Structure 1
Amino acid sequence: MIKSVLVIRNDKIGDFVLTWPALYELKMALPNASIEVFVDPVLKDFAMACPYIDHVIVDDGDDQAITKAFAERHYDAVIVSRSQIRTYRLLRKLDIPYKLAPKLNWYQYLYQHRTSIEVPKGLGGWRKSCMMVERFLADHRIPVPTLPTRYWDLSHERRKWQDHYGQQGEERLIFAHPGTGGSSGGISPSDFAGLLAQVDKLTAIECKFVLTYSGQEIALAQQIYDLLSAQGIKVVMAEPLASLADFAKSLVAADMFMAGSTGPLHIAGLHNVPTVGFYAGRRSAPKVRWQTLTQSERRLAFTPPVGKKTGRNMALIDFDLAAKEIAAFLDTQYASQSAVS
């Protein structure tokens, strides 16, 4: 009988979010087991808020203490969703009956159980962790649960967070996050503000733009705010909340989330919020690989022309065309609802 399972996912915010479908499968398949994760310190509170996680161990860099913490939990299985040689060294002396790693790098052969995580064409990177969990469940003859349409149902908190962001009347809260997660070039504040202004003009719905940011991104958000305010467009600066977990919860208020930074974009996807992503133009198709967990009909993605010289130049995106598509997307999602009300 499996009583506890550890999932290794000690990296970036977006990568952790894309593990939620796999964590869902684990928890639904093993409702009485303790599903536990090993994560980066910045993710601690966010991981603790995940409804499919029962215990969190933080990667504080003290390998001896981490190995001791693993040993004290007496795991029946560990799923190495992020595989590094360091991870193997943390686990190698532990008496864990089942250790599963992806077929990546030479140290895959140090594990007794290995599985391919080659994602079928057209599916997002979130499938990788699911493929590992599904292999684990198959090895233990446990049926694989059907995935939900929304991974984090906080609909009961939506009104609270709408009030927090100042939503009034028929306004739709359109969140926009400047900056970039690093894999894409950034959209300039003038281009971003111009895009939002065009969307506001073209859509039939009443928009209120909410600019989210963290750290040095405040300067970018301020420039966008100033440009939109000067045109009389409804816009607010969303002061960062006390924790990543609170920010993640608050996105249940969003009627759309737009960003080139995949971390916050993926968090919005947990709520099945319509997402508009701006990705690098590469042959590896980042807009497919890094697609959000929002349902396919509620996702839009834009890239500059594919190429080494063009792929990271976000100024090459056709923002006029993007504005028309985003406005039509908004109208499809919400205009008919406003007409009825």
Structure 2
Amino acid sequence: MATIGIDGIRKSFGAVQALQAVELLVRDGEFLALLGPSGCGKTTLLRIIAGLETQTAGRVRIGERDVTDLPPRRRGLAMVFQNYAVFPHLTVFENVAFGLRMGKAPKDRVQRQVERAAALLHIEPYLGRYPAQLSGGQRQRVAVARALAVEPEVLLMDEPLSNLDALLRLEMRAELKAVLAEAGTTTIYVTHDQTEAMGLADRIAVMQAGRIEQIGSPAEIYHRPGSRFVGAFVGSPPMNFLRLPVRNGAAALGDLSLPCPPGTAAEVLLGLRAEDLSPAPPGEGFAFTLRVAEPLGSHVLLTGSAANQPMRAVVPYEAEGVGEGFAPGRVLHLRPHPGRLNWMDAESGRALEASR
């Protein structure tokens, strides 16, 4: 296996800066997700690592080797794309064996590696079939098996599950996590789907406008976002942000006085996850005016406003003080979990360091 080092990678397309001095270190055997909206530069970065795109500046390292100027075939990596990219005229066995045969591997190694990869992906019964005889999920398993069969130092995956339906995507996500954990291959996974990134990755690098906004574990990214962008992009519903006045070192929210980090300006952004709010008696929380209630089985998603700003809250269906009275215009009282407050600069949107 190998580490991956990205040192000051820049990429320009004419006047457009697609990547701006990206620095990143992926650890040996780590599964790292590049997460961000369309156009943020995540696929461009992946293609530069693969050698399919040439950077404007910067270096790429795999293990101890500087691979910046090496062609893809000499970088010791494999790639799985969004489309299945399987050969329709070859059987599943020959598809999985393709990379090994191109590398002129001995027949016994080809047989051994194909069987091992097929067992990992549970496609042994289909080795004699052609891709047209497989479902979409089975074809994607073939593509992953082909990549793993060559035992690459690095596996690069570009939104490999996006063409599958929701139920199959859920199944494949669980399978993929188990397979890659067993294989121990250093993996970079590009996605715009936060659920995939949160469920699969050891760490997530959230990208925006050609830069990495934040790198951290899924829990860190979710509970302690480094900026308003990260908090709004990761999570469903997105994190709530309330712009609040600060007096004597505390932010005023209804009947609550919430201590702010030292040196906070006269106005601050308070970030709150919807599930970190709970019903409270009047006088012990802040007023929330309900606009829409969406029962979702075990809980209810409430959409409304607080401090004249939009807000969402998730509460248990039988929460005390809520009941089944979800008439629009109803005023509830909520209070935040004290350990889940995220303070951010009102101007830059960056997390205040003292709150992290």
Q: Provide the TM-score with structure 1 as the length reference.
A: 0.29
Mark the structure with the bigger radius of gyration.
Answer: 2
Q: Which has the higher strand share?
A: 2
Give 1 or 2: higher helix fraction: 1
